[in-house]
Amino acid sequence: MKIAPIVEAMKQARGLQGLLVHTGQHYGDGMSDVFFRDLGIPVPDVHLGVGSGSHAEQTARIMVEFEKVCLQEKPDLVLVVGDVNSTMACTIVAAKLLITGGSCRGRFAQF
């Protein structure tokens, strides 16, 4: 849910090219689809489809798949939202690839 206003602001920003990545940590209608639909969040540009598993399995799959996206897309900034396995995994990948990272939790943003 936190991503909705961020995506909207990114649409309005000149010269900003964003890529929306959905890890698939939360999936199905009740945990994912409903938020995209009801909040008007666009379909993700990339869906990693990691699904369920133990915390370690899920985090590892996210890291492997997100690293592929980062190596291909070469982003200047990775912005993560929330405080779940996906947040940690993507932050670690960005840090290890020396990509500037930012996080948004609730009403707080940090870079």
Q: What is the pLDDT of residues 17-58, one digit of tens each?
A: 889 898 887 655 555 667 677 777 888 899 998 888 899 999
Q: What is the pTM for the complete model shown? A: 0.83
- 111 Cβ contact list (under 8 Å, min separation 6): 100, 101, 102
Q: Which of 15-19, 66-70, 88-92, 93-97 has the lowest mean pLDDT?
A: 15-19
Place of tokens 């540009």: 45
What Å distances lie between residue 51 and 22, 48, 81, CA to CA?
A: 11, 9, 18
Please report the pLDDT score of residue 43 as a whole number.
82
Distance (Å, whole) CA 28 – CA 13: 31
- Yes or no: say if 58 and 84 are a contact pair by the CB < 8 Å rule: no
Per the prediction, the chain carries an average pLDDT of 84
